[in-house]
Structure 1
């Protein structure tokens, strides 16, 4: 196992659920991240789907003690490099391109690349990857599909993300090839907008105790 794989696993194994955040206002992200960390969810993915995302990553990296902040929805090398510069400790992509593989090879910050088919998994394995994001999990076949990949792809671990809820997370976490799941239910938009950080800490605490 390479050093970057070990580094990535050390982050993903911190907890059963990695919060996947879409941040519209960077001002809310520090109390939000602190609430998640207090509830036991230290690894946090902030997706690059909004203009506030890079500022939000920098704020969490600079101001939230105990947080391991990563950048999600990384689609190209420019975004990869900008996310690393902002303080990202891991990079998450919904898929994989040669451009992204090259950017990851140049960086000390590990990438969790997306894969949803046997061919994509095989291509990534040839590139030396043993940990992948399975996306979009529910829409691509769910836990039953992922379970069927365990035998032909021994030694490959997944972080399924996409459509997973508090109710379905345990089914994924019970699979031998799942290291953690990604989920947005721990930081619902209405609670973030209301600034109800105690409620988010409670959701995070429940998620941190999930097991398969």
Structure 2
């Protein structure tokens, strides 16, 4: 597989998904692939997350799949077992980071200030999740961090159609994470055409 940073920079926007029914995961993944976003970060905020990841991995071996909201080493094990390419956490937990490194799976932990960036660098990390992006100062804060630290960022949290291009224009940003193109209500109701439209709109903006 290509370097994770390169893959993310090619995709540019990572759909962050909280899915309640694993039986809908493959169809959702198909919609993402067919409409220009061949990536999914399935968050561990629902009980269906693990099975959803497994279902997508079985159906689409080459899709870029991350596990989000990973908080424990047990969840790291589950994510690896399910077949993820990378792990994302909302904060910087050294125990989780070191465990991912031991298990040889990339982790992108959340940071939102200089001290956390330095702690992440001390752990050997160079790609970090800027979270929650908008409440933490948005593009201005990200530019300030970029001016000081030689790391890459994946801003997530408050990223939307109105500001995604501003975030992507920051030199340190490899990709943005977002939920707006994968709203839970549309997934629950299997409104695939509506989802496809939202995904195409994102792909069009970043093209």
Task: Classify the TM-score, shorter chain.
Answer: over 0.9
Measured after TM superposition, the shift of residue 65 of structure 1 is 5.3
* Preserved CA contact (<8 Å) 2:110 2:129: yes
- 5+ unaligned residues in a row in structure 2: which ranges? none
Name the structure 1 match of 2:65.
69
Q: Pick from 125, 132, 135: which aligns with 1:136? A: 132
| Over 4 Å off, 4+ runs | none
The yes-or-no answer on 1:37 pairing with 2:53 is: no
Give me the whole-angstrom Cα distance separating, in 2, the residues matched to 1:42 and 1:109.
20
Name the structure 2 match of 1:83.
79
Name the structure 2 match of 1:192.
187
Give me the whole-angstrom Cα distance separating, in 2, the residues matched to 1:167 and 1:191.
21
Give the alignment of 1:7-26 within 5 angstroms: 7-26=3-22
The yes-or-no answer on 1:209 pairing with 2:207 is: no
For these two proteins, the number of residue pairs brought into alignment is: 207
Give the alignment of 1:91-130 within 5 angstroms: 91-130=87-126
Name the structure 1 match of 2:55.
59
Measured after TM superposition, the shift of residue 71 of structure 1 is 0.2
Give me the whole-angstrom Cα distance separating, in 1, the residues matched to 2:137 and 2:91.
16
Give the number of the structure with larger relative contact order, counting CA–CA contacts within 8 Å between residues 6 or more apart.
1
* Preserved CA contact (<8 Å) 1:132 1:158: yes
Name the structure 2 match of 1:169.
164
Give the stretch that moved more between structures: 95-104 or 28-37: 95-104
* Preserved CA contact (<8 Å) 1:39 1:203: no
- 5+ unaligned residues in a row in structure 1: which ranges? none
Give me the whole-angstrom Cα distance separating, in 1, the residues matched to 2:180 and 2:85.
22
Give me the whole-angstrom Cα distance separating, in 1, the residues matched to 2:100 and 2:6.
18
* Preserved CA contact (<8 Å) 2:67 2:84: yes
Give me the whole-angstrom Cα distance separating, in 1, the residues matched to 2:5 and 2:110.
15
Name the structure 2 match of 1:157.
152
| TM-score of the aligned structures, taking structure 2 as reference length | 0.94
| TM-score of the aligned structures, taking structure 1 as reference length | 0.91
Give the stretch that moved more between structures: 7-16 or 111-120: 7-16
